[in-house]
Homo-oligomer: A and B are copies of this chain.
Amino acid sequence: MFKKIAIFGVGLIGGSFALALKKAGAAEQIVGVGRHAATLERARQLGIIDVAAASVADAVGGADLILIAAPVAQTAAILTSIAPHLQAGTIVTDAGSTKSDVVAAARAALGGKSAQFVPGHPIAGREQNGPEAALADLYVGKKTVLTPLPENAEQDIATVASAWQQCGASIHRLSAQQHDAIFAAVSHLPHVLAYALVDDIANKPHAADLFQYAGGGFRDFTRIAGSSPEMWRDISLANQSALLSELDAYLEQLTRLRALLAAADGAAIEAIYSNAQRARHGWISAIETAEQ
Protein backbone atom coordinates (compact mmCIF):
# COMPACT_ATOMS: atom_id res chain seq x y z
CA MET A 1 0.00 0.00 0.00
CA PHE A 2 1.42 3.39 -1.03
CA LYS A 3 0.72 6.23 1.41
CA LYS A 4 1.22 9.05 -1.07
CA ILE A 5 1.83 8.88 -4.82
CA ALA A 6 2.67 12.05 -6.78
CA ILE A 7 1.99 12.06 -10.52
CA PHE A 8 3.48 14.64 -12.87
CA GLY A 9 1.08 14.73 -15.84
CA VAL A 10 -2.45 13.47 -15.20
CA GLY A 11 -3.39 12.66 -18.82
CA LEU A 12 -3.94 9.26 -20.42
CA ILE A 13 -0.82 7.55 -19.03
CA GLY A 14 -0.58 9.14 -15.58
CA GLY A 15 -4.34 9.23 -15.12
CA SER A 16 -4.76 5.54 -16.01
CA PHE A 17 -1.97 4.64 -13.55
CA ALA A 18 -3.83 6.57 -10.83
CA LEU A 19 -7.22 5.02 -11.60
CA ALA A 20 -5.76 1.50 -11.70
CA LEU A 21 -4.01 1.86 -8.34
CA LYS A 22 -7.13 3.33 -6.73
CA LYS A 23 -9.20 0.46 -8.10
CA ALA A 24 -6.64 -2.02 -6.69
CA GLY A 25 -6.81 -0.25 -3.30
CA ALA A 26 -3.05 0.27 -3.54
CA ALA A 27 -2.82 4.02 -2.84
CA GLU A 28 -4.04 6.04 0.13
CA GLN A 29 -3.58 9.43 -1.52
CA ILE A 30 -2.79 10.47 -5.10
CA VAL A 31 -1.49 13.97 -5.73
CA GLY A 32 -1.43 15.49 -9.21
CA VAL A 33 1.09 17.99 -10.54
CA GLY A 34 1.03 19.78 -13.89
CA ARG A 35 1.43 23.02 -15.79
CA HIS A 36 -2.29 23.58 -16.32
CA ALA A 37 -4.53 24.17 -13.28
CA ALA A 38 -7.65 23.41 -15.34
CA THR A 39 -6.36 19.95 -16.30
CA LEU A 40 -5.57 19.13 -12.68
CA GLU A 41 -9.02 20.32 -11.58
CA ARG A 42 -10.62 18.15 -14.29
CA ALA A 43 -8.59 15.13 -13.10
CA ARG A 44 -9.78 15.82 -9.52
CA GLN A 45 -13.40 16.01 -10.64
CA LEU A 46 -12.99 12.71 -12.54
CA GLY A 47 -11.70 11.05 -9.35
CA ILE A 48 -8.26 10.44 -10.86
CA ILE A 49 -6.38 12.41 -8.19
CA ASP A 50 -7.35 13.37 -4.65
CA VAL A 51 -5.46 16.65 -4.55
CA ALA A 52 -3.89 19.08 -7.03
CA ALA A 53 -0.52 20.01 -5.54
CA ALA A 54 0.08 23.72 -4.95
CA SER A 55 3.81 23.34 -5.68
CA VAL A 56 6.42 20.73 -6.60
CA ALA A 57 7.66 20.83 -3.00
CA ASP A 58 4.15 19.99 -1.74
CA ALA A 59 3.79 17.15 -4.24
CA VAL A 60 7.18 15.58 -3.60
CA GLY A 61 7.32 15.95 0.20
CA GLY A 62 6.30 12.76 1.97
CA ALA A 63 5.64 10.82 -1.26
CA ASP A 64 6.70 7.16 -1.38
CA LEU A 65 6.39 7.05 -5.17
CA ILE A 66 6.61 9.72 -7.88
CA LEU A 67 5.59 8.98 -11.50
CA ILE A 68 6.65 11.34 -14.28
CA ALA A 69 4.09 10.91 -17.08
CA ALA A 70 4.52 14.22 -18.91
CA PRO A 71 5.75 14.56 -22.54
CA VAL A 72 9.32 13.19 -22.86
CA ALA A 73 10.81 16.61 -23.66
CA GLN A 74 9.75 17.88 -20.18
CA THR A 75 11.38 15.03 -18.22
CA ALA A 76 14.71 16.78 -17.61
CA ALA A 77 13.03 19.98 -16.33
CA ILE A 78 10.68 17.99 -14.06
CA LEU A 79 13.56 15.96 -12.60
CA THR A 80 15.46 19.21 -11.96
CA SER A 81 12.44 20.69 -10.18
CA ILE A 82 12.07 17.55 -8.05
CA ALA A 83 15.74 17.21 -7.03
CA PRO A 84 15.95 19.81 -4.21
CA HIS A 85 12.85 18.39 -2.49
CA LEU A 86 13.59 14.69 -2.92
CA GLN A 87 13.76 12.90 0.45
CA ALA A 88 15.45 9.61 1.18
CA GLY A 89 12.92 6.80 0.85
CA THR A 90 11.03 8.37 -2.06
CA ILE A 91 11.26 6.42 -5.34
CA VAL A 92 10.91 8.22 -8.68
CA THR A 93 9.93 6.48 -11.93
CA ASP A 94 8.76 7.61 -15.36
CA ALA A 95 6.67 6.44 -18.32
CA GLY A 96 8.73 7.83 -21.21
CA SER A 97 8.90 6.10 -24.62
CA THR A 98 12.71 6.47 -24.74
CA LYS A 99 15.09 5.54 -21.96
CA SER A 100 18.77 6.38 -22.63
CA ASP A 101 17.99 10.11 -22.74
CA VAL A 102 15.90 9.85 -19.55
CA VAL A 103 18.73 8.05 -17.76
CA ALA A 104 21.17 10.79 -18.79
CA ALA A 105 18.70 13.46 -17.65
CA ALA A 106 18.19 11.72 -14.29
CA ARG A 107 21.95 11.45 -13.64
CA ALA A 108 22.38 15.14 -14.50
CA ALA A 109 19.39 16.35 -12.45
CA LEU A 110 19.57 14.05 -9.43
CA GLY A 111 23.34 13.61 -9.09
CA GLY A 112 24.03 11.49 -5.97
CA LYS A 113 20.31 10.72 -5.63
CA SER A 114 20.08 8.96 -9.02
CA ALA A 115 19.75 5.57 -7.26
CA GLN A 116 16.22 6.71 -6.29
CA PHE A 117 15.20 6.84 -9.97
CA VAL A 118 13.95 3.60 -11.61
CA PRO A 119 13.23 4.23 -15.34
CA GLY A 120 10.13 2.62 -16.86
CA HIS A 121 7.97 2.45 -19.99
CA PRO A 122 4.42 1.06 -20.00
CA ILE A 123 3.57 -0.29 -23.48
CA ALA A 124 -0.01 0.90 -23.78
CA GLY A 125 -1.86 3.76 -25.38
CA ARG A 126 -5.01 5.02 -27.03
CA GLU A 127 -5.77 7.50 -29.80
CA GLN A 128 -7.20 9.96 -27.26
CA ASN A 129 -5.28 12.04 -24.73
CA GLY A 130 -5.93 13.97 -21.53
CA PRO A 131 -7.56 13.01 -18.20
CA GLU A 132 -10.88 12.16 -19.95
CA ALA A 133 -9.09 9.39 -21.87
CA ALA A 134 -7.71 7.70 -18.71
CA LEU A 135 -8.94 4.15 -18.05
CA ALA A 136 -8.54 1.99 -14.94
CA ASP A 137 -7.82 -1.05 -17.12
CA LEU A 138 -5.49 0.53 -19.70
CA TYR A 139 -2.54 -1.58 -18.48
CA VAL A 140 -4.34 -4.90 -17.94
CA GLY A 141 -2.52 -7.60 -19.90
CA LYS A 142 0.04 -5.09 -21.22
CA LYS A 143 3.81 -4.99 -20.71
CA THR A 144 5.75 -2.48 -18.64
CA VAL A 145 9.47 -2.40 -19.38
CA LEU A 146 11.80 -1.35 -16.55
CA THR A 147 15.38 -0.34 -17.41
CA PRO A 148 17.00 -0.18 -13.95
CA LEU A 149 20.24 1.67 -13.24
CA PRO A 150 23.21 -0.24 -11.79
CA GLU A 151 22.89 1.91 -8.64
CA ASN A 152 19.17 1.05 -8.07
CA ALA A 153 18.41 -1.11 -4.98
CA GLU A 154 16.56 -4.32 -5.91
CA GLN A 155 13.99 -3.38 -3.26
CA ASP A 156 13.19 -0.11 -5.09
CA ILE A 157 12.94 -1.84 -8.48
CA ALA A 158 10.53 -4.32 -6.88
CA THR A 159 8.40 -1.47 -5.50
CA VAL A 160 8.01 0.12 -8.95
CA ALA A 161 7.35 -3.31 -10.50
CA SER A 162 4.68 -4.01 -7.89
CA ALA A 163 2.86 -0.72 -8.66
CA TRP A 164 2.62 -1.65 -12.36
CA GLN A 165 1.67 -5.23 -11.56
CA GLN A 166 -1.21 -3.90 -9.45
CA CYS A 167 -2.29 -2.00 -12.60
CA GLY A 168 -2.47 -5.37 -14.37
CA ALA A 169 0.80 -5.15 -16.33
CA SER A 170 3.53 -7.78 -16.67
CA ILE A 171 7.08 -6.62 -15.96
CA HIS A 172 10.02 -6.97 -18.38
CA ARG A 173 13.59 -5.85 -17.69
CA LEU A 174 15.93 -4.50 -20.34
CA SER A 175 18.91 -2.17 -20.36
CA ALA A 176 18.10 1.38 -21.53
CA GLN A 177 20.13 0.73 -24.69
CA GLN A 178 18.35 -2.56 -25.46
CA HIS A 179 15.03 -0.84 -24.90
CA ASP A 180 15.82 2.03 -27.24
CA ALA A 181 17.17 -0.26 -29.98
CA ILE A 182 14.06 -2.48 -29.82
CA PHE A 183 11.55 0.36 -29.90
CA ALA A 184 13.47 2.16 -32.63
CA ALA A 185 12.83 -0.91 -34.82
CA VAL A 186 9.24 -1.86 -33.96
CA SER A 187 7.71 1.50 -33.08
CA HIS A 188 9.74 4.61 -33.91
CA LEU A 189 10.83 3.57 -37.43
CA PRO A 190 7.28 2.62 -38.52
CA HIS A 191 6.08 6.05 -37.36
CA VAL A 192 8.79 7.76 -39.42
CA LEU A 193 7.92 5.63 -42.47
CA ALA A 194 4.20 6.37 -42.21
CA TYR A 195 4.70 10.12 -41.69
CA ALA A 196 7.13 10.18 -44.65
CA LEU A 197 4.68 8.42 -46.98
CA VAL A 198 1.69 10.63 -46.18
CA ASP A 199 3.79 13.81 -46.40
CA ASP A 200 5.23 12.61 -49.73
CA ILE A 201 1.76 12.00 -51.16
CA ALA A 202 0.27 15.19 -49.70
CA ASN A 203 2.99 17.26 -51.41
CA LYS A 204 2.36 15.88 -54.91
CA PRO A 205 0.46 18.17 -57.30
CA HIS A 206 -2.24 15.52 -57.81
CA ALA A 207 -2.57 14.69 -54.09
CA ALA A 208 -6.37 15.00 -54.15
CA ASP A 209 -6.62 12.32 -56.88
CA LEU A 210 -4.30 10.05 -54.94
CA PHE A 211 -6.22 10.31 -51.67
CA GLN A 212 -9.47 9.76 -53.55
CA TYR A 213 -8.35 6.25 -54.53
CA ALA A 214 -6.62 5.29 -51.28
CA GLY A 215 -8.35 2.37 -49.57
CA GLY A 216 -8.37 0.25 -46.44
CA GLY A 217 -4.76 -0.93 -46.73
CA PHE A 218 -3.53 2.66 -46.91
CA ARG A 219 -5.75 3.57 -43.96
CA ASP A 220 -4.23 0.92 -41.67
CA PHE A 221 -0.68 1.49 -42.92
CA THR A 222 -0.87 5.22 -42.16
CA ARG A 223 -2.92 5.14 -38.95
CA ILE A 224 0.17 5.97 -36.86
CA ALA A 225 0.74 9.08 -39.02
CA GLY A 226 -2.32 10.46 -37.22
CA SER A 227 -0.30 10.59 -33.96
CA SER A 228 0.87 13.80 -32.28
CA PRO A 229 3.68 15.43 -34.35
CA GLU A 230 5.18 17.12 -31.27
CA MET A 231 5.33 13.87 -29.31
CA TRP A 232 6.93 11.99 -32.20
CA ARG A 233 9.38 14.80 -32.95
CA ASP A 234 10.51 14.51 -29.32
CA ILE A 235 10.77 10.70 -29.46
CA SER A 236 12.67 10.85 -32.78
CA LEU A 237 15.21 13.27 -31.33
CA ALA A 238 15.44 11.50 -27.95
CA ASN A 239 16.20 8.18 -29.64
CA GLN A 240 18.17 9.72 -32.51
CA SER A 241 21.08 7.29 -32.57
CA ALA A 242 19.13 4.02 -32.47
CA LEU A 243 16.55 5.40 -34.90
CA LEU A 244 19.24 6.47 -37.39
CA SER A 245 20.73 3.00 -37.27
CA GLU A 246 17.33 1.35 -37.95
CA LEU A 247 16.56 3.88 -40.67
CA ASP A 248 19.90 3.12 -42.38
CA ALA A 249 19.25 -0.63 -42.27
CA TYR A 250 15.80 -0.03 -43.77
CA LEU A 251 17.13 2.26 -46.51
CA GLU A 252 19.61 -0.48 -47.45
CA GLN A 253 16.83 -3.07 -47.51
CA LEU A 254 14.63 -0.84 -49.67
CA THR A 255 17.51 -0.08 -52.06
CA ARG A 256 18.13 -3.83 -52.43
CA LEU A 257 14.45 -4.43 -53.13
CA ARG A 258 14.48 -1.57 -55.66
CA ALA A 259 17.30 -3.28 -57.54
CA LEU A 260 15.37 -6.57 -57.60
CA LEU A 261 12.32 -4.78 -58.97
CA ALA A 262 14.38 -2.98 -61.62
CA ALA A 263 15.82 -6.36 -62.64
CA ALA A 264 12.30 -7.89 -62.61
CA ASP A 265 13.64 -10.67 -60.38
CA GLY A 266 10.28 -12.17 -59.45
CA ALA A 267 11.69 -15.10 -57.47
CA ALA A 268 13.82 -12.88 -55.20
CA ILE A 269 10.95 -10.40 -54.70
CA GLU A 270 8.58 -13.23 -53.82
CA ALA A 271 11.14 -14.63 -51.35
CA ILE A 272 11.16 -11.31 -49.44
CA TYR A 273 7.36 -10.99 -49.49
CA SER A 274 6.95 -14.64 -48.40
CA ASN A 275 9.43 -14.32 -45.56
CA ALA A 276 7.60 -11.21 -44.34
CA GLN A 277 4.18 -12.85 -44.61
CA ARG A 278 5.39 -15.95 -42.76
CA ALA A 279 7.02 -13.90 -40.00
CA ARG A 280 3.93 -11.76 -39.56
CA HIS A 281 1.58 -14.76 -39.46
CA GLY A 282 3.85 -16.38 -36.86
CA TRP A 283 3.84 -13.22 -34.78
CA ILE A 284 0.05 -12.82 -34.93
CA SER A 285 -0.44 -16.49 -33.99
CA ALA A 286 1.90 -16.06 -31.01
CA ILE A 287 -0.07 -13.00 -29.85
CA GLU A 288 -3.38 -14.80 -30.23
CA THR A 289 -2.08 -17.83 -28.33
CA ALA A 290 -0.79 -15.57 -25.54
CA GLU A 291 -4.15 -13.79 -25.33
CA GLN A 292 -6.02 -17.05 -24.73
Contacts and interface: CB of A to CB of B under 8 A. Distances in A.
Given A224-B221, A249-B200, A258-B247, A272 B213 contact: no
B258 A195 contact: no
A269 B213 contact: no
How many copies of the chain does the oligomer comprise?
Answer: 2
A197 B189 contact: yes
A38 interface: no
A262 B244 contact: yes
Nearest to A186: B214
A244 B257 CA distance: 10
Interface in A233-292: 233-234, 236-237, 240, 243-244, 247-251, 253-255, 257-258, 261-262, 264, 266, 269-270, 272-281, 283-284, 286
A230 interface: yes
Interface stretch (A104-112, A151-159, A204-212): A204-212
A208 to B, nearest CB: 9
Looking at chain A's contact residues, is the secondary structure mostly helix, strand, loop, or mixed? helix
A72 B277 CA distance: 20
Contacts of A24: none
Given A225-B276, A229-B274, A251 B253 contact: no
A261 B247 contact: yes
Contacts of A237: 261, 264, 266, 269
Contacts of A172: 213
A244 B261 contact: yes
Contacts of A166: none
Interface of A: 123, 125, 143, 145, 172, 178, 182-183, 185-187, 189-204, 207, 209-211, 213-230, 232-234, 236-237, 240, 243-244, 247-251, 253-255, 257-258, 261-262, 264, 266, 269-270, 272-281, 283-284, 286
24 contacts: A172-B213, A186-B201, A187-B213, A187-B215, A190-B197, A193-B221, A193-B254, A196-B250, A196-B253, A199-B275, A202-B276, A202-B279, A211-B279, A211-B286, A214-B283, A220-B221, A222-B280, A229-B270, A229-B273, A233-B266, A233-B269, A234-B266, A240-B264, A247-B258
9 tightest A-B CB contacts, nearest first: A202-B279, A229-B273, A198-B276, A186-B214, A233-B270, A229-B274, A199-B276, A195-B276, A190-B221
